[in-house]
């Protein structure tokens, strides 16, 4: 890499390696396959198989039965895992997110149904309170502050419950300090030493989560409420991401994640280079919405743009990508 080329044009003609498909394939540096994808889905409590999400065309909130079908689909397509997020009825929400601890809630029911339907497919659960809190924050809100340690206690309770339901990977997305270690300790104590943790290690306070809040029906933060900047990271920072990742690994994370994805590929690259740990990125709702909106206007070639966006994660060094495009991309990749 650091060596200067021995010769220059016309001895060197980089286009020689691009002239036909066979040689392009032969020198390709990164490969995208269905095995690189984690399919993110949203489940709702009702019976309706699919309720389309307006801001994310092509996606829908799924019933538990439809989620089980999704698990079978993932298996058939060679997609290794599904990440599941809940849409909770507003009347069940309160300021501490009590509904998060219901072992018969929609997440636990979906996990059991998916593991029944396709036990070979890994299931990842979001450890976070925001789908369940009336204010939409990821933690306990008291006098205008998000309490760290009180929140961690609730997250631990939620995570152990998800493990009991059969979840394979706990993915805390809250950004409280110390939650990975607390989860790891609690899992050990509860006999769930094989349950993995994928830490949302470097999660930024991003505008790109907008459509997700629509998808899961969580409160619109902003006017009157404060944003998530006291716990999610400042988009201006990169060294801080390395410190966050180091902490999560030290606390027992098996895998780490950077979120959002495409606008943060520089962070992915630094994390991959600094730590020998499987690193994932979340292609979030806003990234999905941008691609689809442009495609629907005829401004982008939809299929190509989707695959190129996913390929970029592999090039940056990701072990895999959490994406709403997973089944679609897997089909295109010809599983
Ligand atoms: C919060 C959470 C969010 C997402 C996943 N978990 C939103 C947020 O932090 O406000 C976003 C996912 C997406 O945008 O696709 N625990």
pLDDT tens column, 260-313 = 999 999 999 999 999 999 999 999 999 999 999 999 999 999 999 999 999 999
Ligand 1: distance of its center to the CA of 278 in Å? Answer: 21
Residue 92 CB contacts under 8 Å (≥ 6 apart), including other chains? 99, 132
133 located within any domain: yes
The pocket around ligand 1, CB under 6 angstroms, is made up of 126, 128, 130, 138, 173-174, 209, 212, 228, 284-285
16 located within any domain: no
Ligand 1: distance of its center to the CA of 26 in Å? Answer: 38
> According to the model, what pLDDT value does residue 6 have?
74
274 located within any domain: no
> According to the model, what pLDDT value does residue 223 have?
47
Ligand 1 atom at minimum distance from 232 CA: 9
The closest residue, in CA terms, to atom 8 on ligand 1 is 209
Question: Is 3 a catalytic site residue?
Answer: no
- The yes-or-no verdict on residue 335 having pLDDT over 60 is no
140 located within any domain: yes
- The yes-or-no verdict on residue 5 having pLDDT over 70 is no
The closest residue, in CA terms, to atom 7 on ligand 1 is 209
Give me the catalytic one of 93, 203, 228, 314: 203
pLDDT bracket for residue 214 (50, 70, 90): confident
Q: Give the structural domain span for 126.
A: 32-256
pLDDT tens column, 32-77 = 999 999 999 999 999 999 999 999 999 999 999 999 999 999 999 9
pTM of the model: 0.96
318 located within any domain: no
- The number of distinct structural domains making up the chain is 1
292 located within any domain: no
What's 30's DSSP letter?
Answer: -
Question: Is 259 a catalytic site residue?
Answer: yes
> According to the model, what pLDDT value does residue 7 have?
83
CATH number at residue 234: 3.20.20.70
62 located within any domain: yes
What is the percent of the chain where pLDDT is above 70? 96
pLDDT bracket for residue 222 (50, 70, 90): low
Q: Which residue has the tokens 């070979």?
A: 120
Q: Which residue has the tokens 């029944």?
A: 116
CA distance 87 to 64: 11
Give me the catalytic one of 93, 115, 259, 314: 259
173 located within any domain: yes
pLDDT tens column, 157-186 = 999 999 999 999 999 999 999 999 999 999
């Amino acid at each position: 890499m650091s060596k200067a080329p021995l010769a220059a044009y016309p001895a060197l003609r980089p286009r020689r390696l691009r002239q036909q498909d066979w040689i392009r394939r032969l020198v390709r540096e990164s490969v995208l396959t269905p095995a690189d994808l984690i399919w993110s889905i949203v489940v709702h409590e009702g019976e309706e198989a699919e309720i389309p999400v307006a801001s994310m065309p092509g996606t829908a909130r799924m019933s538990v039965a439809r989620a089980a079908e999704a698990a079978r689909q993932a298996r058939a397509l060679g997609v290794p895992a599904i990440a599941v997020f809940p849409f909770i009825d507003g009347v069940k929400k309160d300021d501490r997110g009590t509904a998060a601890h219901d072992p018969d809630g929609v997440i636990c029911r979906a996990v059991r149904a998916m593991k029944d339907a396709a036990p070979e497919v890994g299931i990842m659960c979001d450890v976070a309170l925001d789908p369940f809190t009336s204010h939409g924050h990821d933690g306990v809100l008291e006098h205008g502050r998000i309490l760290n340690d009180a929140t961690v206690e609730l997250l631990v309770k939620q995570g152990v419950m998800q493990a009991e339901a059969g979840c394979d990977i706990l993915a805390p997305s809250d950004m409280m300090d110390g939650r990975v270690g607390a989860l790891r300790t609690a899992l050990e104590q509860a006999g769930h030493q094989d349950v993995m943790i994928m830490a949302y290690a470097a999660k930024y306070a991003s505008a790109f989560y907008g459509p997700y809040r629509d998808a899961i029906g969580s409160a619109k933060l902003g006017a009157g409420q404060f944003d998530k900047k006291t716990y999610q990271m400042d988009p201006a920072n990169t060294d801080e991401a390395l410190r966050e990742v180091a902490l999560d690994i030290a606390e027992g994370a098996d895998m780490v994640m950077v979120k959002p994805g495409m606008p943060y590929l520089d962070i992915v690259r630094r994390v991959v280079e600094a730590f020998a740990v499987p690193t994932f990125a979340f292609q979030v709702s806003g990234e999905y919405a941008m691609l689809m909106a442009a495609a629907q206007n005829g401004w982008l070639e939809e299929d190509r743009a989707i695959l190129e966006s996913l390929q970029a994660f592999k090039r940056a060094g990701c072990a895999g990508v959490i994406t709403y495009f997973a089944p679609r991309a897997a089909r295109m990749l010809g599983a």
